[in-house]
Structure 1
């Protein structure tokens, strides 16, 4: 009877998804410390597992890094799909800003994926560079398309080409997060306010 109860409990216990836990922990370490500032040992200690368990899912750190960036890319595509067609371009752009605010609000002050990969681009493995380029391209293409749609519909205004403005907006957001780590969250909100003033005119900061 006791043996049956033990087996039933083991059967009903949620199965541990070690691979997903490894990715989650590696993501947190990547965005806080950077790719070269953590090892499999850091992950193993944090999760209470052996290094061999990590190597089982990701034979080398490069494999883990590539999997992380691909997950960032899929997450962004899912997010972009979720906001497609919701409100005007300014509303979608505001939703994009809010993803950065979430990084800012995190207690560990994470840097956005594009920002952290860009800062370490010269030292990460080439397969990760390839995925990072694709991630950046997808982010900026979405930004450019949204900015152009906003100008076409009249919800946004800016001089020059939408692609050039997308680079400026992306750089402002990433730089704002970096500054906020040293000077406080209010600095990032100042960046957002200024972007609103530039893209929406005098009424933007109040909307």
Structure 2
């Protein structure tokens, strides 16, 4: 997991915890795509021939893949919502071309900026912890890598269950345990874990989502 994906995971967890409008599994992703549309508009992209252009921009912003059928469903939700307000306009045509008109969405920009700083500091803390403990850090070994690759074990650990981890990840487990009583850091670790779980909802097909809701 790179830093951008970690920011995305943390943002998903924040949206889930702070939004009162989460009614279905897709709703937590709506603000992400709204923000992507706003950023596209800010950068002078006011229309496109296909939603694949939104797909590419969203992937670049969040380091996360939004399958086109699911993205289209999200865009239909946004189009209906925006066009019923005075926030601007987003038109999704039947041929999947689109128009973005005077649309700005900055609701989570400040949260994102704070998360960028916090996540950078978290990784730096991990590096310092390993150095102080005389551990040799592998090229791809980090707190983010641990969270993404060991979700099941981490869930047991966060619930205070006994954890048995391979030796390669002893450093990371000790790091989490060391910071468990430092609330801001531990809360960030938990938000990254929760966000990694929430991100899996995007893999559902529209038909599966319809059944789930």
The structure with more strand, counted as a fraction of residues: 2
Question: TM-score, normalized by length of structure 1?
Answer: 0.27
Question: TM-score, normalized by length of structure 2?
Answer: 0.27
The structure with more helix, counted as a fraction of residues: 1
Structure possessing the higher radius of gyration over alpha carbons? 1
- Higher relative contact order, chain-length normalized (CA < 8 Å, sep 6+): 2
